[in-house]
Chains A and B, each alone.
Chain A
């Protein structure tokens, strides 16, 4: 999977988005991250692995105490990418609007 697809599929899950939102406020341990969720620590760990693989978080080196940290770069890539496709549609409709104006001028 390419990087952008990986980031999108990582973002497709509400729990993972919530984890990112929490990490946007600062580093946290796996235990702290798991607290708000009614799911097992193991399930949270799985989500963290997905986020880590997508490059959205990084984790400290110390084995026992591995706080997670948000890495924003892939999110910026996604934002830029999405904005591009928003333009795709807008431009197409702008183009239609412009074309309709031309046609009406010709008809007059």
Chain B
């Protein structure tokens, strides 16, 4: 069977996980040939910046998260604007939508996730959008128009970032959220209330415990009908109600999948020489040890790096992913890491918090047996990374947990407490 190309490493996906993989490989193997494939034409851009693009804060150049000459510098062959349609795991090659056959010694699947569009009447009308790709952002940007109204379905990170962006473009923005609070995946109730207030004070309208049941309009979006019976006229609608891993390609090739592609601590799938990383991969969770999909940027990069190093012959294990998110809304910073809202029935958790409403300061710690497993910081977030570090170190902080709530917490204060793993006499940098 003649192949059109043969590479040592083939990466499907030119985003966080794919680039992480390139960098992982190049840490170990400076020369081995690498091909990176994406169905999107764009040079490696950051989808987290798509909302900034809509707002007008980043342009076609700044949305790239690696320099223009990145592929040459890393000696990588980009194959952009082509879709991988089939993997032949026994023969070690893949096929693209134009028929090109590409052989590999090892393959990494970093196909990411796609937005979920719920099955409600009118969901395909012109004026209905999702926000995931550069193309999506371009289309929304074109449709955005000052003085008009946008309805955003979903109060998670993507929904709120879209709301912020469209507001910056002069639109009247309504966010419709099914749950009783915004950011229900990462933020606790109290924190969510602070953020909601911040958004509302700045002109974003938020309806919680409400659903959009129909998107109305003759030829295009004209209104949405809400579960409250209310009809809300609007010009555009954005679905931001979560994503689902793009596992089709892997599943068809016989690679084990559940919600995502199942991978071990080396980011290997059950098929030899095939790895997966990022939003598509279901990998170990740091806190529970079970497999879980944490669809966030830092995890995608880290998993990609680990996959890449292992593909290149190193032996690097993944510690497990932790949910974490940072978002700045109208100048109010908020960071949530780890388990921030343990369910009451799980039991055994200790929760301490401190808030200074005047300063919009809020910090909360979730502990289990003295070990810190989750943290929220709103307002002064400078210490958030220290808390992340303590979570990753599985530090027992029971003796000085109150100290960790102080607004001016800094790294020096945790040095010498025996919890900072590297509290040594010397630090190099």
Are A and B subunits of one complex? no
Interface residues of B (CB under 8 A from A): none
